[in-house]
Structure 1
Amino acid sequence: MNLVRVLMVDDHLMLAEALSARLSEVPELWVVGHCATSDPRLAEVAQRSRPDVIALDVEPAGTATGSLVRQLRETLPTAAIVVLTGTGDARQAVEAARAGAAAWVRKESSVEQLTEVLRGVSRGHSWYPPELLGPVLRELREDAARAGQRGGPLDVLSDRERDVLCGMVAGKRGAQIAEELLISTETVRTHTRSILAKLRVHSQLEAVSVACAAGLRVDADAEPDIRL
């Protein structure tokens, strides 16, 4: 019998420990560790634990949900990510799906349901609750349609450069972008220089103008504070 190695990532460590104890009673599952979502050593813990599945609470990440999921995917490309959270925010679900999360499970779900999802994603399956599946599929279809339209000015950017550009469009300072993306301010500066070069512009203001003209969307709740 192949064991499914599971890493629990949740800021509510007592809850994570209690759930880990219950999951440890399932013969096919092996909880290899737990870590806080906000722990700066998250990537290191994930690499050391070598999980097959990461059960991740994205609620503390807020608008940085996609960046958090993407970071874990980049750290452990072979690990499936199951969002296990108390929030039902459709925007977070869409961003998680875009970044590669295989499933979304509410914390109030039964252990039996969670166990079924954990087993499933380890075999390549996906699962989103019905109330979130519609928005997720709609946005992913629109993403696919936009991707099929060649020649967009932002097509030259990498996913991480797009993340940085989104922060710029939202009017965020470099330090805030770095904090939300879980990268250093120097890395943000490096991505910014690359963005300017690829878009053939000379300032962040010009880059923001190009992004807005290309239809780049940001969180509607973001508070603009452009200081370039």
Structure 2
Amino acid sequence: MELIARVVIVDDDPFVRSGLRTIIESDQIMVVGEASDGDDALMLVDSEHPDLVLLDIRMPRVDGISVTRTLRERGDTTRVLIMTTFDSDEFVMEALRAGANGFLLKDTRPADIITAIHKTIAGDPVLSPAATARLISRVTAEPHARVSRAYRLVATLTDRERDVALGIAEGRTNQQIAQALHVSVNTVKTHISALFAKLGAKNRVDIARTIFEARTDGP
């Protein structure tokens, strides 16, 4: 099978890195480097130009959020898929704001990790269902002003734009959304462009986050 992607694994636990490498390479995805710290991760991205960085949040010295923020600030388009644990969900919102393309829990099944890598590289957001539930719970606890703003933004959407946004929040691809709504993929793309403008979103994860936040409020 032809190699379809180049991935860098970043985690301070060598056993986690070894396990992820085994899972990833079983799908013929090339692991082009491993790092145990954010500084090394940035150097690897510069030297290897991977399609995706599978990135732990908690690491000594430079953490995953700082790595993500640095990549985005310098305009790097490498996809970032955060790997987190149940006890680190307090960092998830900050990681997404920093520019991460999605996140998974570390106990995700191997097949789902492979799927998540493919989806992230394709530009689709990856939000682990279990972690998403915790994300929604965390959003509920955030300041009311943020939630109210999200609700007001969502209220400006048309019914069809809202349907598309919900599909994105559920992790669906453009094709899946088009099939569910019985419209063309181009029509879905047009609605997504409108969502970027109306919600002030930079990517699909931003759209999903706004939907999650808005769901915690309402009339």
TM-score strictly above 0.5: yes
SS of residue in 1 equivalent to 2:114: helix
TM-score by length of 1: 0.54
Provide the rounded CA distance (Å) in 1 between the counterparts of 2:45 and 2:136: 31
1:142 aligns with 2:157: no
Alpha-carbon distance, 1:79 to partner = 0.8
Aligned to 1:5: 6
Deviations 1:43-81 (A, max 9, x none): 111211211110001022699653332013345621111
Could you tell me how far 1:2 is from its partner in structure 2? 6.4
Alpha-carbon distance between aligned partners in 1 of 2:147 and 2:98, rounded to the nearest angstrom? 12
Q: CA RMSD in A?
A: 3.2
Alignment of structure 1 residues 111-130 onto 2, 5 Å: 111-129=110-128, 130=132
| Structure 2 residue 16 is the aligned partner of structure 1 residue 15 | yes
Matched residues, number: 145
- Once residues 52 and 136 of structure 1 are traced to their aligned partners in structure 2, the CA distance between those partners, rounded to angstroms, is 30
Contact 1:82 1:105 (8 Å CA) reproduced: yes
Alpha-carbon distance in 1 for matches of 2:7, 2:108: 17
Q: Would the alpha carbon gap of residues 60 and 144 (structure 1) be closer, same or farther in structure 2, given more than 3 Å must change?
A: farther
Q: Please, which runs of 5 or more residues in structure 2 have no aligned partner?
A: 153-219
How far does the alpha carbon of each residue in 1:125-175 deviate from its partner, in whole angstroms, 9 at most, with x for none?
Answer: 112233234257676x929949x9xxxxxxxxxxxxxxxxxxxxxxxxxxx
- Change in 2 beyond 3 A, CA 1:56/1:76: farther
**Cα deviation 1:71-118 (Å, max 9, x = unaligned):** 133456211111113344332000001011111111111110111110
Report the 3-state secondary structure (helix = DSSP H, G, I; strand = E; otherwise coil) of the residue aligned with 1:105: strand
The AA in structure 1 aligned to 2:24 is L
Alignment CA distance shift 1:22-1:127 (3 Å) = closer
Change (3 A) 1:62 1:134: farther
TM-score normalised over the length of structure 2: 0.56
The alignment status of 1:34 with 2:34, answered yes or no, reads yes
Letter in 2 for 1:12: D
